[in-house]
Structure 1
Amino acid sequence: MATIRWEEPVAVPAAQAWALLRRVDRAHELFAPVLVAGSMEGDVRTVTFANGLVVQERIVTVDDQAQRIAYTVVGEMFEHHSASMQILPVDDAMCRFVWISDFLPDERAETVRPLVEQGSRAFAKNVEDRKIRG
Structure 2
Amino acid sequence: MAAIHKEAVLDVPAERVWAVLREAGRVDLLAPGFALKCHMEGDVRIVTFFNGAVAHELILDVDDEARRIAYAMVDSPLGLRHHNASSTVVDEGDGRSRFVWHADLYPEEAVPVVAEFMDRGLSAMKNALMSSASSVGA
TM-score (norm 1): 0.92
Contact 1:8-1:121 within 8 A present in 2 as well: no
Contact 1:83-1:99 within 8 A present in 2 as well: yes
Tell me what 1:41 maps to.
41
Q: Which moved more, 1:96-105 or 1:107-116?
A: 107-116
Note the aligned Cα RMSD (angstroms): 1.3
Query: Which structure 1 segments of 5+ residues have no match?
Result: none
- Displaced runs of 4 or more, over 6 A: none
Tell me what 2:72 maps to.
72
Deviations 1:43-94 (A, max 9, x none): 1011111112111101000000110000000025222221000101111310
Aligned-partner Cα distance in 2 for 1:122–1:80: 25
Q: Name the SS for the 1:129 alignment partner.
A: helix
Contact 1:55-1:73 within 8 A present in 2 as well: yes
Deviations 1:11-68 (A, max 9, x none): 1111111111101111012111111111211110111111121111010000001100
Contact 1:45-1:58 within 8 A present in 2 as well: yes
Percent of residue pairs identical: 39
Letter of the structure 1 residue corresponding to residue 82 of structure 2: H
Letter of the structure 1 residue corresponding to residue 23 of structure 2: R
Q: Name the SS for the 1:27 alignment partner.
A: helix
Tell me what 1:95 maps to.
97
Query: Which structure 2 segments of 5+ residues have no match?
Result: 134-138
Q: CA deviation at 1:9?
A: 1.3
Tell me what 1:113 maps to.
115
> Is residue 2:129 matched to residue 1:127?
yes
TM-score (norm 2): 0.89
Contact 1:13-1:93 within 8 A present in 2 as well: yes
Tell me what 1:6 maps to.
6
Aligned-partner Cα distance in 2 for 1:87–1:75: 26
Higher relative contact order (CA 8 A, sep 6+): 1
Aligned-partner Cα distance in 2 for 1:32–1:111: 20
Tell me what 1:24 maps to.
24
